[in-house]
Chain A
Amino acid sequence: MKVLVVENLTYYYPGSTKPALKNVSLEIEKGDFVIITGPSGSGKSTLIRTFNGLIPHFYKGRFEGRVLVFGVDTRKASVAELSKKVGMVFQDPENQILTLSVEREIAFGLENLGVDPREIRLRVNESLRSLRIEHLRYRVPFELSIGEQQKVIVASILAMKPEILVFDEPTAHMDPFSALMFIQILNELNKQGYTIIVVEHRLDFLVKYANKIVVLRDGKIVKIGDPLKVLAEEDVEHIGINVPKYITLFKKLSSYVSITSIPKSSDEASKILKEIVYGNRDRG
């Protein structure tokens, strides 16, 4: 089932003569785990802001083509309606936190929607459990680490029961370990049935879990497809994206040694290399 369809989208911010997105077409299926990447200024954040109607409803500007969320044209639905389907998590958790307890933070959006208090309690519990942060329930969000804060934000979005979760560079400020933990949570949510869309520069931990990558440059989609296949293509580094080292290593190695597959993690890379180095394997 297609949950999100972008058709021939061209978009200009108000007063701009250069389009931020040019002829973008994209289909996302239920259960997809999609990476959106590309150099700075390539249109990544602009693109995801069309998914819940922030563009064109808030940003205005010139909008051609259409975006369909579960078949509904985003121009014909409000951001509030779309947000029930598409949950957005931005880069800086600090800027998104509003309350003084984790529990209140998660309940906040539901209270605003007038959800029944008993239902709110249920959903808060469920969200806390999904992210395994029950122990943070009574903590003050501002005092948490950035990784924990980001989980609280995700929990507050989950409580709204969206079907698509969109993340704008969620791990940008996280150290590698926190980032890895966070990406594993995204994977778990994906397994629970959520469609996941992540804008990221840092790809090394994500490649393993995603089934699709979209590479943008100058507002256009220049590559789209299976992450490993796309990242293994020759010209992809020139676009300015951070191709994981375990992939660049194998791309270079493949000019000298026959390689049957490109690894999707450092771990897998070391296993294949071990076989190559210790010669337990034909070397073309």
Chain B
Amino acid sequence: METVIEVRNLSYTYPGGITALKNVSLDIYRGEKLVILGSNGAGKSTLIKHFNGLLKPQRGYIKVFGVDTRKASVAELSKKVGIVFQNPYHQFFSEKVWDEVAFALKNFGYSEETIKYRVTKVLRLFDLYDYADKSPFELSSGEMRRLAIASVLAYDPEVVVLDEPTVGQDRIQKEKLREYIKLLSLQNKTVILVTHDIEFVTEGFDRIVVMSNGTILGEGSPKEVLYNEELLKKANLMLPQIPEISIRINNNIILEKKPLTDDELLSLVLSILGVRK
């Protein structure tokens, strides 16, 4: 497996004296859909800001595609690692949706033709093409979020980092987000989702890393992590609903299969009861 981001013994203390990261080590692999899970203030956002060089390691190092981030500019790193931050409206500065998406492409020096092609493509993909001439600030919150993702995807980074993308989103938007993540993964992109949304991560991810108090407490497959009550508790998190119900039922067949969705648990319960679906 090719490592795209290598984090080694990373520590970071903010100027005010708050230590946000303590000796963090992590390997992120090409094409994986990784979740960085943690409660408010766990250090997740500080960690990802190191991925494109917005923050530079104070101790330890980070290599992005083999390049030490201390030796690369944010612009260079951003070409490889696109980060979609939490509050879209803090990011927008263009007068039109089209320009917002084209901005980074222009900065990276792409030709007019390529820019036109790519902007059209992502705006279509995210159902934003009709708004191309609108101001980003006229969009609804869900549309703004899509625009933030589109602006990053337009320059085709190898690694896409999504910081709390599910905050304030309804069910339909969350399902769409899951589709986009799948789509990216099919193109062999690496997707890193940073979140405290324990329900959202029950479907569609390969690996979950749990952070708390600036350290990595544990990691594993979604089933391993989302059934590890002790680990989640230590991270000030909770079991998602279906694992919680399954653990409380305390049935061996269910505990062995570790269902994560209502459909999975339903099938198990029905098979135990001998009811055909």
Q: Which residues of A contact B (CB under 8 A)?
A: 38-41, 91, 145-147, 169, 172-178, 180, 201, 204, 237, 240-246, 248-249, 252-253, 256-257, 266-267, 269-271, 273-274, 276-278, 283
Contact = CB atoms under 8 A, between A and B. Distances in A.
A173 B40 contact: yes
Chain B, interface size category, equals: 35 or more
Residue from B250, B261, B266, B272 whose CB has the most chain A CB atoms within 10 Å: B266
Given A257-B273, A273-B245, A277-B273, A172 B167 contact: yes
A270 B141 CA distance: 36
A61 B270 CA distance: 55
Contact of A276 (B41, B236, B269): B269
9 contacts: A40-B169, A147-B40, A173-B167, A240-B172, A242-B170, A246-B245, A267-B248, A273-B249, A277-B251
A227 B176 CA distance: 26
Given A147-B40, A267-B248, A277 B237 contact: no
B140 A256 contact: no
A270 B164 CA distance: 29
Q: Which 4 A/B pairs are nearest by Cβ-Cβ distance?
A: A270-B248, A175-B196, A175-B39, A245-B241
Given A146-B40, A174-B40, A266-B241, A39 B262 contact: no
Contacts of B71: none
A252 B266 contact: yes
B18 to A, nearest CB: 9
B196 to A, nearest CB: 4
Contact of B142 (A40, A175, A243, A266): A40
A41 B275 contact: no
Interface of B: 38-41, 140-142, 164, 167-174, 196, 198-199, 236-238, 240-242, 244-251, 254, 261-263, 265-266, 269-270, 272-273, 275, 277
B73 to A, nearest CB: 30
A176 to B, nearest CB: 5
Contact of B266 (A145, A173, A253, A277): A253
A145 B248 contact: no
A243 B195 CA distance: 20
Contacts of A270: 244-249
Nearest to A275: B249
Given A40-B142, A173-B167, A244 B273 contact: no
Given A40-B169, A175-B236, A274 B248 contact: yes
Contacts of A146: 40
A241 B140 CA distance: 17
Given A145-B41, A257-B275, A271-B248, 18 more contacts: A39-B173, A40-B169, A169-B168, A174-B196, A175-B40, A175-B196, A176-B39, A177-B238, A178-B39, A245-B199, A249-B262, A252-B266, A253-B270, A256-B273, A256-B277, A257-B270, A267-B248, A278-B251
A266 to B, nearest CB: 5
A173 B45 CA distance: 13
Given A40-B142, A41-B142, A175-B237, A237 B171 contact: yes
A145 B40 contact: yes
Contacts of A147: 40
A177 B237 CA distance: 6
Contacts of A241: 170-171
Contacts of B270: 253, 256-257
Contact of B171 (A178, A240, A278): A240
Contacts of B242: 245, 249
